[in-house]
Structure 1
Amino acid sequence: MSSNKESTSRTLLVALTVSLVAAVFVAGAAVSLKPVQVENRLLDKQRSILSIAGLGDELSSAQVKDLFNSRIKARVVDLATGDYAEGFDPVSFDPLKAARDPKTSKALSGDQDKALIKRREQYTTVYMVEQDGKIASLILPIRGYGLWSTLHGFLALKADLNTVVGLGFYQHAETPGLGGEVDNPKWKALWPGKTLFDDAGKPIIKVVKGGVDPASPDAGHQVDALAGATLTSNGVDKLLQFWLGEQGFGPYLAKLRQQGV
């Protein structure tokens, strides 16, 4: 009887030791890999920004870093005032983390929250391509809920702050073949050249179910909805209305227009 107890104790001790060693190994691997994961996420974001801005596709990691550092300038913006915010490192600042913290974000009421994001960060990072000291194109981070997930992406504007250079999403979990068609190059190719605002600065861009009528006077600010993906299409439409409006980049874009940037 005593022998059986000793055998069971040894087995439990061995199992516990193995578990502890494995836990230490896994924790150590996670810590050591975290910098690599952070670097890869940053690289993916930079790659997406360059692609949406029309500066390059299918680039190597080294090419992405070199092109981004030489052509893109990042700045942190106070969304409430539209002013640039000092005291932030635009490279390391994480707007999504800020959006989760009540101290650095605001809760959105139902009528404010067209994009269904619940909270909006006070500060966020914008990206610009500069030429001769002026903005040649401006890249804005956008996000909003589709059917199954929050779509995270960027919208690139020309220097007139009204004409689309490109739109794309770098992260989402929409249904492949349906809402996932936001990644389809043919759909993304419909966006360049579309206009976002009317003469008063009100967002008028629309994602249209049933397709855009080329003969319509509104065709210049309309884009075909995704076939069979009404809720994802509605999500894209609403997130654009949100981020281009007063709760999003409206104050910032208005200030840039006043400055003649």
Structure 2
Amino acid sequence: MKALGLAGLVALASALTLSTAATALRPRQIANIEAARQLRMQAMVDALPGLRAVMEELGVTELETRLVDLATGRMLAEAQGHDPETAARDPETSIALPEEADIAGLERREAQALVHLLERDGAVMLVVLPVRGAGYQSTISALLALEPDLNTIAALTVTEQAETPGLGARIESEAWQALWPGRQIADETGAIRIDVVRGQASTPYEVDGISGATRTGNGVADMIRFWMGPWGYGPFLDRLGQEGLG
């Protein structure tokens, strides 16, 4: 009995130590993830033709980050320190998604999200939206950059994924991400049509799929359709298109 009691105490102490360590390391992990995202965003900006020159002309070195209320589409003042994924797990700072709306497989969605903007003379030059959704084996996170019409994709940069190596993981390759610029998200009626198709794309709303990775491609398409729709950034993009930066 004493041996069992001692073993229980050791197990409890180990669990507490691991829990304390995980809690202590969490801020550092978040900071590292954010630093990696920023590096990828800078690389994406540098890859967009002429954009870095515009930023130098304006005297800015990075995009402006704002916080957006997703329900109303209103931009809020304070964005520093906001972690969308942590907010999405907290019932007080998130909403449960109806099953029929949850095409990205998130279950919950944060009430407020980050957007990154570049403007010149009050006009939007670029909007970068962080998006995420369920892939085949992992949660996929990406940065979706939109041109000033808010419908044409300027770039898609995958920032996190753990899909099947050699198959779904190829969504992070430069070659596949290079297929996205110029694709259209919605048609003239406003219907969201962007898709990742099996084989070769045949319309402005399609991107070539990756052989052997259909479910990963579907996950990317569903992720973008969700965040561009009414449960994602849709209200913000509608308001931005009608009112500008205000």
* TM-score bracket for this pair, using the shorter chain length: 0.7 to 0.9
Letter in 2 for 1:82: G
Q: Secondary structure at the match of 1:53?
A: helix
Residue 254 (1) aligns with residue 243 (2)? no
1:53–1:137 CA contact under 8 A, matched in 2: no
2:123 corresponds in structure 1 to 134
Deviations 1:60-104 (A, max 9, x none): xxxxxxxxx723100000111101124xx3131111111001111
Give the match's secondary structure for 1:195. Answer: coil
Judged with a 3 Å threshold, the aligned counterparts in structure 2 of structure 1 residues 107 and 54 are, in CA distance, closer, same or farther, namely same
Counterpart Cα distance in 2 of 1:255 and 1:108? 22
Number of matched residues?
227
Given that 2:67 and 2:113 are in contact with CA atoms closer than 8 Å, whether structure 1 keeps it comes out as yes
| Alpha-carbon distance in structure 1 between the residues aligned to 2:88 and 2:44 | 24
Distance 1:145 1:233 in 2: 11
CA change 1:95–1:30 in 2 (3 A) is: closer
TM-score normalised by length of structure 2: 0.82
SS of aligned partner of 1:106: strand
* Aligned residue among 62, 67, 82 for 1:76: 67
Name the aligned partner's letter for residue 36 of structure 2. Answer: D
Stretches of structure 2 lacking an aligned partner (at least 5 in a row)? 1-5, 49-59
Distance in 2, matches of 1:132 and 1:208, equals 39
1:42 positional shift: 2.1
Letter in 1 for 2:224: L
Q: Measure the CA separation in 2 of the matches of 1:237 and 1:207.
A: 6
1:183 is the counterpart of 2:201: no
**Aligned partners of 1:146 and 1:126: how far apart in 2?**
22
Given that 2:129 and 2:144 are in contact with CA atoms closer than 8 Å, whether structure 1 keeps it comes out as: yes
Match for residue 121 of structure 1?
110
For 1:77 and 1:237, locate their aligned partners in 2 and report how far apart those are by CA, in whole Å: 23
What is the match of residue 53 of structure 1?
A: 45
Question: Secondary structure of the equivalent of 2:182?
Answer: coil
Paired letter, 2:159: Y
Unaligned stretches of 5+ residues in structure 1: 1-11, 57-68
Q: What is the TM-score normalised by the length of structure 1?
A: 0.77
- Alignment partners' CA distance in 1, 2:44 and 2:146: 10
Render the CA deviation track for 1:175-233: whole Å, top value 9, x for unaligned: 111110101111100001111112233211111112113xxxx2x12100111101101
Superposed CA RMSD in Å reads 2.8
* 3-state DSSP of counterpart to 2:150: coil
Distance 2:185 2:244 in 1: 18
Matches within 5 A, 1:55-204: 70-86=61-77, 89-204=78-193
Task: State whether structure 2 residue 229 is matched by structure 1 residue 245.
Answer: yes
Task: Specify the structure having the higher radius of gyration (Cα).
Answer: 1
Structure-2 separation of matches of 1:243 and 1:113: 10
